[in-house]
Amino acid sequence: MTEAIVLERERGLLTLRFNRPDKKNALTRAMYSRLAEALKQADSDPEINAVLITGSAECFTAGNDIADFVEQPPSDLDSPVFHFMLNLLECRKPVVAAVAGAAVGIGTTLLLHCDLVYVARDARLRMPFVNLGLCPEFGSSLILPRMQGQAKAAELLLLGEGFSGEQAAQWGIATEALSSGAAAVSKARKMALRFDELPAEAVRISKQLMKAPDRELIRQVIEEEGVLFTQRLKSPEAVAALNGFINRH
């Protein structure tokens, strides 16, 4: 059986690659568990200097597996998706993301917690939570309005409008937009490997300083969003929208 999360080690870099191409790399509970565990190990392994999160050169991820949302929804903060996102939030090593094609739902939200984000110019990002009867997750309701201002963030979170990789770079969600998916993956790998050349302790302390002022607030917001999100999953609005996707053909 092929692994839906592929782990690759190159010198001090650990790459976590989504590998479920037939489902556009939609993330299941099992995939979140693997990601959570890999991030935790990377954080405590002194040989690892950085983590790269990526999909393929065509698709990052279509977000949470919608069938999982219906059949095995996260019920509390002890669910695999929370373990993954909290381990990402707490990761002391630099985390780099490479994004091509679709980055939907958590595929966009997780980028807000990465340190460096390289996107293909034509990547398609979107957080269609309201459209699915849900609400923002993992700190996005705090981070996006601060980053972009209320008026722009409302377009993304209250209307669920999509945007391109190029726009993500203009708005500070991404570090740089590149000409193609392959170029984004290649640049992200190159920059992530740069951490092998830098003093690891200095990098770690610098990241800690950059994250410290907001860490507790973000954690608190994640918990508040998480309670509402898990409630919303059972709401008639969400049940209708999620089943609409499953039965769309």
Chain contacts with ligand COA (rule: CB under 6 A): 23-24, 26, 62-67, 102, 104-105, 128-129, 132
Please identify, using beta-carbon distances, which residue of 111 and 116 lies nearer to ligand COA: 111
Shortest CB 28 distance to ligand COA, Å: 9
Shortest CB 217 distance to ligand COA, Å: 24
DSSP secondary structure code for residue 111 in this structure: G
Please identify, using beta-carbon distances, which residue of 24 and 34 lies nearer to ligand COA: 24
Which token pair is 216?
């507790």
Angle, CA 139 vertex, CA 137 and CA 140 arms, to 5°: 70
Please identify, using beta-carbon distances, which residue of 67 and 193 lies nearer to ligand COA: 67
Shortest CB 224 distance to ligand COA, Å: 18
Instruction: Judge whether 134 and 238 are in contact, CB under 8 Å.
Output: yes
Please identify, using beta-carbon distances, which residue of 159 and 217 lies nearer to ligand COA: 159
Residue burial 107-140, b: 16+ Cβ < 10 Å; e: rest: bbbbbbbbbbbbbbbebbbbbbbbebbbbbbbbb
Please identify, using beta-carbon distances, which residue of 23 and 194 lies nearer to ligand COA: 23
Return the residue nearest ligand COA (CB atom): 105
Shortest CB 33 distance to ligand COA, Å: 17
Shortest CB 115 distance to ligand COA, Å: 24
Shortest CB 194 distance to ligand COA, Å: 31
| 149 backbone φψ class: left, alpha, beta (φ>0; ψ -120 to 50) | left
Please identify, using beta-carbon distances, which residue of 55 and 94 lies nearer to ligand COA: 55
Distance CA 64, CA 69 (A): 7
